[in-house]
Amino acid sequence: MGVEQTVTVPAGAALPWAAVVERLAAHGGAAPLRMIDGLPAFPDEQPPDDWRELRVGTPAGMITIRRQPQGVDLVTWGNADAALVQAWNALTWAFAMCSGGNVTTPQGSRTAEEYRQQASMPASLKE
């Protein structure tokens, strides 16, 4: 069973994968692709602008990103360990930062910075 987080973006906002990867790399993280729209991908491959689903492999496990009309849903396993939850949260934060979007949390909508402060993140993002 999976769990998901949603990043809601302003109307017309781009979902720039290259910027997300660069943002994570600037903080010591990585987001190697494993699949683009159901097809195998090279880790550093750039998806087309109209991608529908990405699968990202992390050392801790897989994260699925599904494009929705309002933004993206980021999905991982419901029994994810702490390392996978941190990778999932970091990817969610990066999407919010790069798209100007907000993260929907059980406590309500959060800006990328608010989310970074409250979510379990890798140490490099808490500094």
Residue 116 has phi, psi (to 5 degrees) of: -60, -40
Give the mean pLDDT of 99-112.
Answer: 93
Whether 12 maps to a domain, the answer reads yes
Whether 127 maps to a domain, the answer reads no
- For residue 60, the SS3 value is coil
Please give the model's pTM, rounded to 2 decimal places.
0.94
Whether 88 maps to a domain, the answer reads yes
Q: What percent of the chain clears pLDDT 70, i.e. is strictly above it?
A: 98
Give the mean pLDDT of 111-125.
Answer: 94
Give the mean pLDDT of 42-48.
Answer: 94
Residue 115 is part of a domain; what is its CATH number?
3.30.1400
CB 13 within 8 A of CB 101: yes
For the chain, what is the domain count? 1
CA dihedral 112, 65, 36, 84 (to 10 degrees): 90
The domain of 42 spans 2-120
pLDDT at res. 1: 62
